[in-house]
Every structure is written in C-alpha cells, then in structure tokens.
Structure 1
Amino acid sequence: MSSQAPVSEGGRLRADAVVRRIGDRIVLDGVTLAPHPGETVGLLGPNGSGKSTLLRLLAGVLGPTAGTVTLDGDPLPGVGRRAVARRVAVVQQNSHTQTEMTVRDVVALGRIPHRRAWSPATTGDRHAVDTALGRTGLTDRSEQSWHTLSGGERQRVQIARALAQEPSELLLDEPTNHLDIQYQLDLLELVTGLPVTTVIALHDLNLAAMYCDRLVVLRDGRAVAEGTPGQVLTPELIGEVYGVRADVTLDGDRPVVRFLRRRDTALRP
C-alpha cells in the first residue's frame, strides 16, 4: 500500500455506471469507479480504452451520456464548477504555455478556484503556494522561468499547482509519459505520498503494480477487471487485454511483469 498521510473521510468522488457516447460510438460503457479516501487507483488499458474520457468525466469537464458522477453524493452539475475545482485537481499528460511565467506563477494558478475574479492573493493563498512548492521540492526554483525546466521538472510544477488547490481528489492522465525512468519514479513517489485520493491513468504495468493500491482495467470502454495489483495483473488478463504474452512473478505482494518476445512465445510449448 502507498505510504500516505491520513485523509479525511469527507472526500468521495465516484462514477456510477457512466456511459459516454460520441455520435454513434460508445467511448465508455457502464463503468463504475469508487475510490476509497486516500487510495491510489490506477487506470490501465490500451490506447482508446476510455481512460482519459473517464478522468474527464470525474473532473466534470465532460458530462456522462448516462450514469452519474458524484462528489460526496451530489451530482457534479449540482455541486458547481468552481466548487468542484476547489476539491478536484487535474494533471494532464503535457502542459504548455507561451506566456513567460515563473514556477511560482504557475503554481499560483491553483488558487484561482478559491478567489473571486481579479481579487488579490491572500495570506492563505501565499501559504498554500509556499506549501505546495515545499512539498514538491521546488522552493529554490520558485523564481525560475517555467520555459527553462526539463520535462520532469515541469510535471513536478503541475503537481505543485494541483496541490496549491488543496484538493481532496487528484486526477492524473499518464503523467509519466516521455519522462526518464528517474523522473517517473520520483513523480510517482511524490504523488502516492500525498494526503489525497488519487486516480491515475498509466501505461506502464510495472509502475502501476509498484505504486497503486487498486487497479481498474478498461478495454473498449468497459471495465474488465478490478482489484489489487496482485489480483489483476495475471498473464491471462495481460494476454486478453493487451494481446501479448507475459510472465508474472511476485515481489512480496506486488507483481512484476516480464513481457515475452514474439519469437520466445513461439518456442514455448
């Protein structure tokens, strides 16, 4: 399990039997996701399986065609976008800006849901930004230009921006894509140590096994498996969902996946 600080039982974001259609195509088909407070839930599945769409529904950016997304039992439209933004923070795969901004400027964007339009930053806002910078190890980079940072450092800034929102739920869409292994591990160590409920879409099965408390596997818009990494990541499931052969061993209670080359699988009885 991830080593997280205690989380309030108040934060409950869930999707119940959500469907999302685009024209005649069903992108999500009856998916239910109910993270426990403080839990890190990994979303797995091939490209096009519906991971990003599910995260957008949870964030309230998209509305379901059928089913409901609720926060503390209230449907998101009734909660209101600003109230949702105070509670639910989102980190996308890549973030870009043409505007010249410092690291502190970017992190301070996380305070927007807590302020009225055009109102100056409060002492509470500045404290939240300082705390987020400290938690992500960016205090000494706070006045550095965003554009001078590496990809891993920019992702860390986006985590800090999300933390400045002081959310109870954190949604991340494949945040380790295009990062070196060191930065992938550093980022996931940071995320899974935060006192929030986290839903994170990942491609790397071994990273999901290392850092997630529970996994939900999507294929063609449907949830085909859910459980602990040890329960979900089996050779049978990997073959069914990803179309590849794999050996799975256990490191303690965590599975380790080794993919087999095509020629190796042809030699196996």
Structure 2
Amino acid sequence: MAGAPPKAAPPERERGLRAERVSRPAGGRLVVDGVSLAPRPGETVGLLGPNGSGKSTLLRLLSGVLAPSSGVVVLDGRPLARTPRRAAARRVAVVEQHAEARTELTVRDVVALGRIPHRRAWTPASAADAAAVAAALEATGLAGLADRSWQTLSGGERQRAQIARALAQEPGELLLDEPTNHLDIQYQLDLMELVVGLPVTTVIAMHDLNLAAMYCDRLLVLRGGRAVAGGTPGEVLTPALIGEVYGVRAEVDEGPGHPVVRFLRRTPAPPRSPDGPLPPGGPRDAAPPERPPSANTDGPDEPQPTTPWGGIRP
C-alpha cells in the first residue's frame, strides 16, 4: 500500500512567522492592541517604542508563550496554537532579556539546551546534536569558553551564549528581547553584527534608535500597545515621530546607508570655552573689574599681579 503523499509546502506568501491583528490584555487594559507583523524571510525587524509599549508582550505572542485574546499568530500558514509544540520549538528560538542558570552549567551545557526540541525525552545526544552545538559555539566565538562555568561569564558573554543556544536549535525565526541592554558599546556592536549575520528571520525589541537604524531592515514602532509606524529606518525615524512617541526633540541626519538620530537638550546648552564651563556672572575673557587706586598718591599706581578669573594670587 502506497504511503501518504508528502505534505505540500505552503505558498511563499504564507511562509514564516507572522502576527495578524493580535491583542493581549493585562492589568485591565490591552498591552498589545490589534498589531500585525509579517517579517520577510531572512530580514531583521526591529520593534521600537518606550517602556510599556508592548514590545516584550508581542514577542511572547510570536513565540507562543502567550496566546492572543484576539487575532492569530501563524507559522507557515498554520495557527501557531495548532502547531505541535516540538515542531514550533524547532522553528522559533527566543532570547530573553535576563537568563539565569540555577544549577552549575558549563557554556557547552547551556548551548546544548537548544537541542532539546530535536530529541525524544531521555535519549542521549546524537552526533548531529554535538555537531550543532559545536557549530553554534564557533559561530558566536565561544568555542574557547565551552568548558567555562556559565556563572563566571560577563554580561556580553552570557548574551552570546544564549544566542548560541538559540542557534543550536537550528531555527528559522529568532526572537530577541532587548539583547543589548546593560552591555558596553563594543559588545552591543559585536552582538548586533552577529545577529544580523545569521541565516534566520529575526525580530528584535530594542531601545537604541541608532542601533536599530544601523542593523534593522525594517522597523515597527509601538506606543500604548498599538503600531503607530512601520517601514524602513529612513521612512520611520523622523523628528516628528520621535517627538510623538518618545516626547523628545531630535534631529535626523543621513548617515552611511542609514539615518543617524541626534537628540537635543530640553533647554539650551550654556556657553562653553575650550578650558571648561564659563563661570557664573560673565564670560571668561571679560575685562576684570576696575582696581581701586593705590594708597600711594605721590606717584603712579604700583603694578599689581594679575590673576585668572576666579583664580588665587600666588
């Protein structure tokens, strides 16, 4: 008897992970309100918005951790809620803001957790699992730290280890929740270079507008749970939108292939000189106050030592 024919691949327009007008309440209000998002295969989409705008909740809806109260999250044309959990875990990897290990694990152990969706319970790791872990460690520059304790890693190294774990899943979609928070600038850039170089579709929640402009193909801006703008960084990041969403003044210039945002002070900056801030009461080069005449009235005033403004005579 012939076996069942193989299941046809979904049409191109239905492939991948997308959200269709999803909503989710919390605390008596909608924290995500009718938001749609359809990343194109292989692109990096940045989620922007102030704290409380719904970025993290939208990521949890996309990952299946939360279920929408209305709307639907779809994976390859099929509602995510109807997709077997193991199959969804193989396709969608998540990197949370804060990852902790309660037990003593090595970096290799942490990365190997990404292989759990590919194994049956209680089965040992296979050669394919070991190869995937090794490839993920190499791709994230952690091969030399594989036997180090997770607890001894720096913040940037921990973030890379979590991305390596996600890579070991061999996903098609990668969801990251503010992965550059609390990292030095060097590690922020290193991490973003790593993420955008991965052969996956990426959705990443971010706070830094300039990092988003540098590394994201498209942006979706949320405010109060609703999508207020979407498009390329050049289309989205305008002074008007930044003022509306974040309540700050900014100028946006054209950088090398992406816009550059420059924030403006709320009040005018005080005048400065090369030697530092000017003293209160007048400019540094103002004429000194007129000196009273010397007590010696029989001749010209005795020359007096000059001092810098506010200085002390020797």
Does the alignment reach a TM-score above 0.5? yes
- Are the equivalent residues in 2 in contact too, given 1:18–1:69 (CA < 8 A)? yes
Structure 1 SS opposite 2:228: strand
Query: Offset of 1:13 from its aligned partner?
Result: 0.1
1:182 equivalent in structure 2 = 186
1:209 maps to which residue? 213
Structure-2 residue corresponding to 1:238: 242
CA distance in 1, matches of 2:86, 2:225: 29
1:81 deviates by: 1.6
Shift of the alpha carbon at 1:9?
8.9
Q: Report % sequence identity.
A: 72
State yes or no: 1:222 paired with 2:250: no
> Residues 14 and 77 of structure 2 are in contact (CA less than 8 Å); yes or no, is this contact kept in structure 1?
no
Q: Find the aligned partners of 1:147 and 1:169 in 2 and give their Cα distance.
A: 28
Within 2, Cα distance between the matches of 1:254 and 1:95?
32
Distance across 2 between alignment mates of 1:123 and 1:189:
29
Does 17-26 or 105-114 show the bigger shift? Answer: 17-26
Residue 102 of structure 1 is matched in structure 2 by 106
- CA contact 1:230–1:253 (8 Å) conserved in 2: no
Whole-Å separation in 1 of the counterparts to 2:61 and 2:145: 33
CA RMSD between the two structures: 1.4
CA–CA separation in structure 2 for the residues paired with 1:46 and 1:23: 18
| Cα distance, 1:255 vs structure 2 | 0.6
Residue 264 (str. 1) matches residue 273 (str. 2): no
Report the residue type matching 1:208 in the other structure. Answer: A
| Contact preservation (8 Å) 2:15, 2:77 | no
Structure 1 residue 24: Cα displacement: 2.6
2:195 is aligned with 1:191:
yes
Q: What does residue 38 of structure 2 align with? A: 34
Superposition pairs for residues 113-152 of structure 1, below 5 Å? Answer: 113-152=117-156
Deviations 1:177-216 (A, max 9, x none): 0000000000000000000000000000000000000000
Other-structure match for 1:14: 18
Which residue is equivalent to 2:170? 166
Q: Structure 1 runs of 4+ off > 6 angstroms?
A: none
Matched, 1:88 2:92: yes
**TM-score w.r.t. length of structure 2:** 0.80
More moved, 192-201 vs 244-253: 244-253
Give the conservation status (yes or no) of the 8 Å contact 1:45–1:203. yes
Gaps in structure 2 of 5+ consecutive residues: 1-11, 270-314
Is the contact made by 1:11 and 1:168 (CA closer than 8 Å) also made in structure 2?
no
- Structure 1 distance, partners of 2:30, 2:61, is 14
- CA–CA separation in structure 2 for the residues paired with 1:20 and 1:213: 26
CA contact (8 A) 1:45 1:242 kept: yes
Q: Deviation of residue 11 (structure 1)? A: 5.0
More helix by share: 1
Equivalent residue, structure 1, for 2:64: 60
| Corresponding position: 1:43 with 2:47 | yes
* Matched residue SS, 1:144: coil
Q: Paired residue for 1:157?
A: 161
SS at match of 1:200: strand
SS of match in other structure, 1:46:
coil
User: For 2:13 and 2:184, how far apart are their aligned partners in 1?
Assistant: 35
Deviates more, 1:160-169 or 1:71-80: 71-80
Cα separation, 1, equivalents of 2:88 and 2:217: 24
Moved more, 17-26 or 255-264: 17-26
